Structure 1
């Protein structure tokens, strides 16, 4: 006797359909909380080797997945696109109850294998990686807002340092949101503030140069608002927010590195020229346990760089990547290729050489196409090294 539980997960509740040998014997709606999971656990315990199948619905299915893992039940988690393609031919009407029943019914004919359960450290790294990416987006957004507000109060301040970014610059913006805060202070006070703006030891010559330049910028500036304007506080707020976000992002990165260091793939990724700690932890966080992929092509599909092929009669469409995978992983690996090519000038790497070769092959090949091709080469390398637990060896890689 074979029992399958089909579960259609929603935000607050889930539809459960229980089928035995292809026939529905029971179905109900359960809340996604302890009460609902207790009822589900009672039903699971009442049958022999139950099969559980559900669609991955982002954060909403996380609680169900954790509940099943905590109670040592295997499950099959379907990608929503995969589930849609498999069930479309069976659906006449679409409701949550019907979806749950069709999920269970399709399992009797498709016999899907249980999903690979990764160690909890990979899920924690994924959560931290997403948090790190969100913090980076917040920093970029706040930088743009600070730039816009500073154009009204003190745009010349952006030329004080080599680049209008970094902790020292934001500390100076907090202290001097407009020229009035400079002209009302003595050189001794300005010197003290500048020294406090950086944790590094600064020479007297450097401090004197910054004080002089700060006074020159203040004298040539024309502020569009008064000193009591709310724009002054807005500039200070964005500068302080950038300091806070940068510190929070560094703490997040430190936590990612601490979690990733014991994993064997961490040192493997660092052995590839151009991949440093931030990139290595982000790759592990987004790809998870690479050993669960049987081939590099599966990783291509997972991040959405597999090619879309369309052919009809004599018409052959130009191939493009599907972009149906993990966009965060795709973005990280895209940037990784450019880091590898930059490092390739000093540390030889077959991926950097392949990228340059693809760019030289034909003028038709764009930089983006060459990068996508190099990403596939990088994924093949990562998959081979991690599966065989080997560090990167340029001489060995070049021979293949």
Structure 2
């Protein structure tokens, strides 16, 4: 006797439909809390090896998923797009109760595989990585705001250092947000302030050169009036950028510590050009790589699988689907760029394939070539992780 539980998860409640031998025997609604899950548990325990299916609806399906994990039930978490396509053939109306029934019917028809239970560390890494990506978005906004206010108060300070990044630059901006703050002090008074602005060892000579340059920039700057409020904004944004940057570093350190026993981290970092930050972020987005049945499945997961369209005499150019884990796609894209940069001294199969394609196509379609290299990187990582092998340039010659 096959019993299927279809669960349509909403924000605060879930609709449940129970099918036995393809016949509806019960439908009910529960709250997504301890009391509701106790009701669901009573129903589940009244059947032997029930099949459970629900849609992956992000944060709203997490409590249901966590409950099923704790209770040791096997379940299927289906992509909402896949569920819609499979249910469109027999579902004409859409309500929460009908969605729960439709999910159960789809499970009966298609016999989806259950989710492979993986270590909780992957879930923790995923949460930390999403928090890290949010901080990434925050720091971009704060840097733009800092640039906007500095354009009013002291635009010349952006030429003081080779990069407008790092603790040294942000501390200097907080101490000298406008030319007036610089010109209040002598150069020999500014130099110690600059030395204290960084945790790195800085020579007196270097600090004096920066103090002289900062003074020259302040003298050449146009002195704006009535900008006290904007000056305070500049100090605030510089401190916010610095705070968020430190938060990002702490998150990466926490992720590295959390994943230190995962063998795939050492495997991925053995690829020249990939550091610990890229490795932990990638594993956090992909989860347990071993759960994928092929490297092409990972391509589809991150949205770089190709779409081919052909109709009559017309054939469109192939392009990637872009449906999937957008953050993972971004991490892989940057990973390929880092691998290409490192290839000057440590070439890999990824960089060699990229170079060959780049030469054959000239300078056209650079992004497409990087995406192609992402495919090769995924295949390489998948092979290494499945076989528990470190990267060896002799093991992966350039493909023809």
Q: Considering the TM-score relative to the shorter chain, is it more than 0.5?
A: yes
Secondary structure, aligned partner of 1:245: helix
Partner of 1:9: 9
Alignment of 1:41-80 (within 5 A): 41-80=41-80
SS at match of 2:272: coil
Tell me the equivalent position of 2:155. Answer: 155
1:365 CA drift (Å): 5.4
Q: Is 1:380 aligned with 2:379?
A: yes
Query: Displacement of 1:255 after TM fit?
Result: 0.6
Q: What is residue 114 of structure 1 aligned with on the other side?
A: 114
Unaligned runs of 5+ in 2: none
Distance 1:257 1:331 in 2: 19
Shift, 1:315, TM fit: 2.2
Q: What is the TM-score with the length of structure 1 in the denominator?
A: 0.97
Quote how far apart the aligned CAs of 1:62 are: 0.7
- CA deviations 1:49-102 (Å, max 9, x no partner) are 111100000111011100000000010000111111111111110111101001
2:315 equivalent in structure 1: 316
Q: 1:166 to 1:2 in 2, by over 3 A?
A: same
1:18 matched to which residue of 2? 18
The aligned residue for residue 339 of structure 1 is: 338
Is 1:88 equivalent to 2:80 in the alignment?
no
Cα drift, residue 186 of structure 1: 3.8
Q: 1:5 to 1:225 in 2, by over 3 A?
A: farther
**C-alpha distance in 1, partners of 2:225/2:98?**
63
Q: 1:95/1:223 Cα in 2 relative to 1: closer, same or farther (>3 Å)? A: farther
| CA drift at 1:364 | 8.5
Report how far residue 110 of structure 1 moved. Answer: 1.3
Q: CA deviation at 1:285?
A: 0.9
Once residues 24 and 356 of structure 1 are traced to their aligned partners in structure 2, the CA distance between those partners, rounded to angstroms, is: 59
Count of matched residue positions in the alignment of Structure 1 and Structure 2: 399
Question: In structure 2, what is the Cα distance between the partners aligned to 1:386 and 1:225?
Answer: 61
The aligned runs of 1:30-45 (5 Å cut-off) are 30-45=30-45
Conserved 8 A contact 2:349-2:396: yes
- 1:358–1:365: 8 Å Cα contact kept in structure 2? no
In structure 1, distance between residues paired with 2:364 and 2:119: 41
What SS does the aligned partner of 2:77 have? strand
Gaps of 5+ in 1: none
- CA 1:147 to 1:365, structure 2 compared with 1: closer, same or farther past 3 Å? closer
Contact in 1 for aligned 2:187/2:208 (Cα 8 Å) = no
In the alignment, is the contact (CA less than 8 A) between 1:273 and 1:343 conserved in 2? Answer: yes
Cα offsets for 1:275-331 (capped at 9, x unmatched): 111111111111111100111110110111111112222322211111111111111
Note the C-alpha offset of 1:363: 4.2
CA RMSD of aligned residues (A): 1.4
CA distance in structure 2 between the partners assigned to 1:198 and 1:88 by the alignment: 61
Distance 1:300 1:240 in 2: 40
Return the offset for 1:26: 1.3
Q: Tell whether 2:217 aligns with 1:217.
A: yes
Tell me the residue number matched to 2:174: 174
1:289 aligns with 2:288: yes
Q: Deviations over 1:101-153 (max 9, x none)?
A: 01111212211121122211111111111111211221111111100111111
Matched, 1:124 2:128: no
Would the aligned equivalents of 1:18 and 1:25 in 2 still touch at CA under 8 Å?
Answer: yes
Deviation at 1:188, TM superposition (A): 4.5
Residue 258 of structure 2 is matched in structure 1 by: 259
Partner in structure 2 of residue 135 of structure 1: 135
Q: TM-score w.r.t. structure 2 length?
A: 0.97
Residues 358-383 of structure 1: CA deviation (Å, up to 9, x unaligned): 11223485111211111111111111
The answer as to 2:98 corresponding to 1:98 is yes
Give the equivalent residue in structure 1 for 2:240. 241
Partner of 1:305: 304
Asked if the contact 1:5–1:52 (Cα under 8 Å) also holds between the matched residues in 2, the reply is yes
8 Å Cα contact 2:290/2:386 also seen in 1: yes
Distance 2:67 2:59 in 1: 14
- 1:280 aligns with 279
What is the CA-CA distance between 1:399 and the residue it aligns to? 7.3
**Within 1, Cα distance between the matches of 2:303 and 2:265?**
23
- Does the residue aligned with 1:234 lie in a helix, a strand or coil? helix
Contact 2:352 2:398 in 1 (8 A): no
Superposed displacement of residue 266, structure 1:
0.9
